[in-house]
Amino acid sequence: MLKGIGSLLAVVAVCACGLTAWADVVIDSVTVGNPGNAGEWSGQSYGGAGPDRICGAVSYTYDIGTYEVTAGQYTDFLNSVAVTDTYGLYNPYMHYDAYPNELGCNIQRTGSPGSYSYSVAPDWANRPVNYVSWGDAARFSNWLHNGQPTGLQDLDTTEDGSYYLNGATTAAELVSVVRESDASWVIPSEDEWYKAAYHKNDGGTGNYYDYPMSDDGVPSNQLVDPDPGNSANFYQTEYGYTIGGPYWRTEVGEFENSASPYGTFDQGGNVWEWNEAIPYTESRGLRGGAFGNYEEYYDLHAAWRGNDSAAVEGEWIGFRLSQVPEPATSVLLTLAAVGFIRRR
């Protein structure tokens, strides 16, 4: 079955000088073209959840992660910037057998503040990270934007770049954070996420699938080899969990014939994924459903606009990233006027 190659590159290498170095994290991505496509309505009035909104219209070409960010990639991030972990990028529940949930991604921390180190077992490394807040995802984005530096969590590593955070950790602080004008790696806007998941990749149309596996039919949660298509990792009353414990989450790309029209995997199921939307006060948008939500396949539907506190770190929640071009001046002025980006 197809695997997320990029996360396997987050491995330890020992330099000849005896110092430990970390290989670059590689985010496999696909290009989402058809700029200027039309959007469509999504939300509670259209068979889903959340405030009604037209979603999916994007005026530019961009890239988006083929897969969700993995535990292996996030472990590399932690080892680069979290020897002290000033802003809580590591949640102890990430350790999969941490009572009471036992649903973590098995990233383990050893040492004490100032000398923390992190590890993840090979059979967990290629599954999506969870227990990450919107702020954690933004800091990961900044780290990539800044060239994956090593050091304390400051303006050169995690606190500035694609987003100006500078210590923001509360929900109220995180919903005030906006994308910088020169951003590169970012948490997808809801439109970027939606288009990559549901748009039929047929030009500038407003044609969308109901599910992010290139299908309008109700998906299956059964893990079959080979994957028959239109399948995902979610809870289904008839069959229960797709794989259950201890992993709960399938390896990214496990459903190799269930890609979106643009070539992304797992935008339905596995873990909910953060986006930049602010559907309610102090909340950020979530899309795609997860391995254990009891709404079954409904959460995977295009009309389902999820959300949670921007500061929450939950067992169901992970993220993927987009890589966006630097906007032209006219676009910058428009986005700044509506508060989408921050002028510095």
Note the pLDDT tens digit of each residue in 216-264: 999 999 999 999 999 999 999 999 999 999 999 999 999 999 999 999 9
Buried-exposed string 50-89: b where 16+ CB fall within 10 A, e elsewhere: beebebbbbeeebbbbbbbbbbbbbbbbbbbbbbebbbeb
Contact 100, 68 (CB under 8 A): no
Encoded tokens for 32: 């989402």
Nearest to 50 by CA among 270, 287, 329: 287
pLDDT for 6 equals: 45
CATH number of the domain that residue 143 is part of = 3.90.1580.10
Total domain count for the chain? 1
Amino acid at 82: A
Kindly state the greatest CA–CA separation across the chain. Answer: 62
pLDDT for 343 equals: 39
Residues forming a β-bridge with 31 = 63
47-50 contacts at long range (C-beta below 8 A, 24 or more positions apart): 47/301, 47/303, 48/298, 48/301, 48/302, 48/303, 48/304, 48/305, 49/303, 49/304, 49/305, 49/306, 50/279, 50/304, 50/305, 50/306, 50/307
pLDDT for 110 equals: 98
Assign residue 148 a region (left: φ > 0; alpha: ψ between -120 and 50; beta: otherwise). left
pLDDT for 168 equals: 98
- Low-confidence spans in the chain with pLDDT less than 70: 1-23, 99-101, 327-344
Domain encompassing residue 162: 1-344
pLDDT for 12 equals: 36
Contact 130, 152 (CB under 8 A): no
CA 150/CA 276 separation, integer angstroms: 26
Q: Tell me the residue length of the chain.
A: 344
CA 275/CA 191 separation, integer angstroms: 9
CA 116/CA 292 separation, integer angstroms: 31
pTM of the model: 0.90
